Chains A and B, each alone.
Chain A
Amino acid sequence: MRGTSFTETMLGTVRLDTADPVRRIRLDLRAEADAVLRPHRTTRARIGGHIRITGLADDPDATGELEISPVARRRIRYRLTFTADGRSLTLDGWKSVSPRHPVKSMTVLPFTLYEDGARIGGGTLRFPVTTGLAPFLLSFRFPRREDPAQYLAPRWDGSPGRTEVWYTTLTDPTTGTGIWLHHELVAPTDGSAPHAHGWAAAFPPEGEVRHVRFGPVPWSSPAHGFTADGVLAAPGQLSGSVGDFQWDLAEQPVSEPLFTFPRWSWRHPVLPAAQMLPAARATYDGTFSDGKRTLTLRGAPGASARIHGQGNARRWAWLHADLGGGDVLEVIAAVSMRPVLRRLPPLVFLRLRHQGRTWPRRAERSAVGLFGVGRFRARIGLPDWTVTGRTLLRRIRIEVTQPAERTLALDYRDPDGAPAVCRNSESADAKILLERWWGHWRTEATWTLQGTAHAEVGDR
């Protein structure tokens, strides 16, 4: 199920009945529909955006609804509620689509302004075709509308030699403490009974990193997530009580799913392993106690992720960076255990969700390049590791630092019994430079994360 989103800007004039002067009005809207826009049917969308009326209103949080029906109803109707000078006003108008005047009728929006249901004015907005059409058309997106909960259900089908992970990393914005909750199912290769285990860890900015392990315990095959040894990782809820550690967190997804590996590799597990985020960003509320201190979380940013596969890579590095403003970066660089692939440099899967778009557009691009040319590169090491890469018009450089005092090393075993060690820091530092080619490389964005990046380097 896909939705539709686009942006639209309209300019025009408005006149209030009680005020004689004609005022300029500008509307910058972003529309989001839960269904794919079908022009011959009626599509309803939520709209939000910025409305400016000279001398009267400048409200960046206008909200409303849009009824798009250019053929069935020959109407595109906008209803928008905004605040002007402390008054709550409603803009109600529609474009009346006519096949005789397709351009005019699709671009002119006469509207009426209401206050408490009473008409107080009206005007006309126009879509500027010459300057607005290209951005309007290029803004169209048809994002999938998916329920994050569906990705939390266990995928293990009883096959031996499988591992499945539910992990959550977040940062308490108040104290800067990083939190890591790791829940894992291991179905050994030798066919013995599957077991569940995991750990919880806290990364305070000052002081030692503390962690606690739970399990292994027999796998109980829950339907909706992970349950073992009193620890729960279910849609919207994370809880557990292990040793000194106690946590009870409510998870609120605030972004669409993000597939770090190609989506097909999650649906059809042909790669040795695949990782994805049911929600690229989430917020957490609740309490977390590591025995020494108890944190009360309010809207703590983070994310949950899922791994499903046959085991760990030979070497890997992982980064999850919440860049703020809705942007997020997820990177996995790994060297496979497969016979031929283990000789290759690390394959980099990099997904940057920036301004509502995910770059590179296809997940394979960073790993395999264009027919093997232009792959993204990773230099894995500790305490520093880097990833670089470029597409045709954009390039990125990521430098991650995992200070030893803020890094936790944990060992565990893969389904085949081989030991693996991960060195994780939920309070790592990262510097990210994004550049765009415009005659020469120009900086598009830079982010510096001090202690809020979530990173890991591991091998076996």
Chain B
Amino acid sequence: MTARGLVAALLADTGDEEWLARVPGRLDTFLSALPGPVRAGVHAAATAVDAYAVLHSGRRLAALTPDERETVLNSLAARPGLLPALDLLKVPVLLAAATERTPAPRAPVAPDDPPLDCIPAAEWPARATADAVVVGSGAGGAVAARTLARAGLAVVVLEEGEHHTTASFGRRAPLDRFTDLYRDGGATATLGNPPLLLPVGRAVGGTTVVNSGTCYRTPDQVLARWSSRHGFHLADGFPARLDEIESTLRVATQPLDVLGTNGLLALAGAERLGWRAGPLRRNAPGCKGSCQCVVGCPTGAKQSVQLSVLPDACAHGARIVTGARVQRILLDHDHPGPPRAAGILARRADGSELEILSPLVVTAAGALQTPPLLRRSGLGGHPRLGRNLSVHPATSVAGRFTEPVTSWAGVLQSTGVEELHDRGILIEATASPPGMSSFVLPGVGRSLRRELEGADRLAILGAMIADRPAGRVLGRDRTLVRYRLDPRDGARLMTAVRAMGRILFAAGAHEVLTGVPRAPRARTLAELDALLTRITPRELHLSAFHPTGTVAAGSDPQRAPADAEGRLRGVDGVLVTDASVLPGCPGVNPQLSIMAAALAVTENYLEGASSNRTSTAA
């Protein structure tokens, strides 16, 4: 336990609480699931704090008394330049602490999941053939697999993650599931100033297993822009396809009964301001308000694609190979014209390889993984491949109320405030399992402990903005995301923070917490306005959730790596059906948009293949 002293210092452990003793162990378990560089960073920071303690008091943190630890940390926190780094160190500690302090309620007995034809990669043969291979089983991959399987093709879906059942979610603590269900243990981040945390799911079902279940239809003005400006004419057929997807996912407006106090407060605040707001439309019929969407719904209410789309695909013959990371797309170069896709080469966890020959390869590995896959395959020649990345930068604000809110009881993402949506700002009341929020409690030591113990009186709002495509996905073997926050988007974020403060104050909050260490709290709106003039968007705790557009479809061969029908340029037989094919930022939670795009691209492919067969026969 490398960070026992640090944990004791940050949480002002005086030995009075039994749960505090379990936090270092929980923290070590969590860190062990993170990528090496992140783990090393945390250990280095902890060592640096320990070294400071030695310089300051002559002993390491673990050997100091609680008062001495408090003095050391306050001395550190008095240096404004160190506050952001200290905040980063607090994130994993708070995760572990909140998990130990507030154990998740026992989940009800989960219903059986619809059957899936999942085969672990170890049991899949080294050589196989198929009519179509789908790389990735998330929103786009699932729809593509179902569409192709329904058309009678022998489909194999390859998934790097594992299959997790609803019952398995109910058996395990949220933090344990968190590290399993997210790529890099959820520690994916963008390079840039400011860095953005960009968690993406990795499991059968992809990010739909860990999203909030919010289902926005693609706004009409976005569809019009995609069609007219980008030449992505498939967008014209989206409305009917969105209907079909909504029907598959059983999308409906979230009833108020399990909405939770967090969402009700947001509704009340918006109502007092006269702003447009309402419960969100979600794909979770019968939601019990477990507030665990982001670590896999333990009740099976959320219709992630492994519960709604993939079972149908499997019923039509599709097979899912789990634990297989696709290394590259195999290409045939022995004929005139561009190369032709011939299948894929994938690697199992033990390093052994398997190959599947298939004349059609559908890439649905996500906007962050598809560009490196194409580069590894020798298909990364287009200058715009990996560029055009939009991520929906998001921040959150908490409001302290007199009465308990207990934000983690109720729907995780419950209420949408669309008053500022025309200006590219979408506010959503977003709670989370304890400690998993992107909102970081202020303070260190005793003040942080007080905040932690008063966390049940905090209501949390989040806002995401429609951003300019200011990011880029680099790398071949490992993904590297670079993102530079556009000044316009920075201004939008500040506007969003103020708007969230207004809602919270209108709802009755007596204090608003910004999460910014240098200006952590405001007690009035005027105070918040004054506070916001002192900070910059870069000081906000930013996350991002919806990477899109890195293999954008469009009619301009110079600007779009994929053609207007979602076929990758420069090769025959490769379709792109994940978020990367979207020409630009959809401005709303993108699950429905991705699924509609996947449906449009694959149906369009099947129509083309069928008309080719007809003309050949004629």
Contact = CB atoms under 8 A, between A and B. Distances in A.
Interface string B190-215: 00000000000000000000000000
Contacts of A96: 345, 353, 355
A41 B355 contact: no
B524 interface: no
Interface string B305-346: 000000000000000000000000010111000000010010
Interface string B105-131: 000000000000000000001111100
Contacts of B357: 94
A373 interface: no
Interface in A184-234: none
B118 to A, nearest CB: 16
B318 to A, nearest CB: 16
Interface string B123-141: 0011111000000000000
Contact of A122 (B125, B332, B342, B353): B125
B342 to A, nearest CB: 7
B333 A122 contact: no
A92 interface: yes
A42 interface: yes
A49 B213 CA distance: 58
Contact of A94 (B333, B353, B355): B355
A300 B332 CA distance: 47
Given A73-B342, A94-B355, A96-B355, A110 B334 contact: no
A75 B125 CA distance: 17
A72 interface: yes
A407 interface: no
Nearest to A94: B127
Contact of A112 (B125, B330, B342, B353): B125
Contact of B126 (A73, A75, A110): A110
A253 interface: no
Given A42-B334, A69-B334, A96-B345, A112 B355 contact: no
A74 B357 CA distance: 12
Contact of B334 (A72, A92, A119, A124): A72
B127 A112 contact: yes
Given A69-B334, A72-B333, A92 B342 contact: no
A111 interface: yes
A93 interface: yes
Contacts of A42: 332, 334
Contacts of B126: 110, 112, 122, 124
Interface string B215-256: 000000000000000000000000000000000000000000
B334 A93 contact: no
B129 A92 contact: yes
A88 to B, nearest CB: 18
A452 B5 CA distance: 102
A119 B345 CA distance: 19
Contacts of B128: 112, 119
A74 B127 CA distance: 14
Contacts of A73: 330, 332-334, 342
A41 B334 contact: yes
Interface in B124-175: 125-129
Nearest to A40: B334
Contacts of B333: 72-73
B342 A110 contact: no
Contacts of B330: 73-75
Nearest to A93: B127
Contacts of B129: 92
Interface in A221-253: none
B127 A122 contact: yes
Contacts of B342: 73, 75
Contacts of A112: 125-128
Contacts of A119: 125, 128
A74 B355 CA distance: 12
Contacts of B125: 110, 112, 119, 122
A112 B127 CA distance: 6
Nearest to A117: B154
A96 B342 CA distance: 12
Interface string A76-95: 00000000000000001110
Q: Which of B127, B342, B357 has the most CB of A within 10 A?
A: B127
A92 B127 contact: yes
Contacts of B355: 94, 96
Nearest to A113: B125
Closest 6 CB pairs of A and B: A72-B334, A110-B126, A42-B334, A122-B125, A112-B125, A93-B127
Interface of A: 41-42, 69, 72-75, 92-94, 96, 110-112, 119, 122, 124
Given A69-B334, A73-B333, A112-B127, 8 more contacts: A41-B334, A42-B332, A69-B332, A72-B333, A93-B127, A96-B353, A122-B125, A122-B126
26 contacts: A41-B334, A42-B334, A72-B332, A72-B333, A72-B334, A73-B330, A73-B332, A73-B333, A92-B127, A92-B129, A93-B127, A94-B355, A94-B357, A96-B345, A96-B353, A96-B355, A110-B126, A110-B127, A111-B127, A112-B125, A112-B126, A112-B127, A122-B125, A122-B126, A122-B127, A124-B126
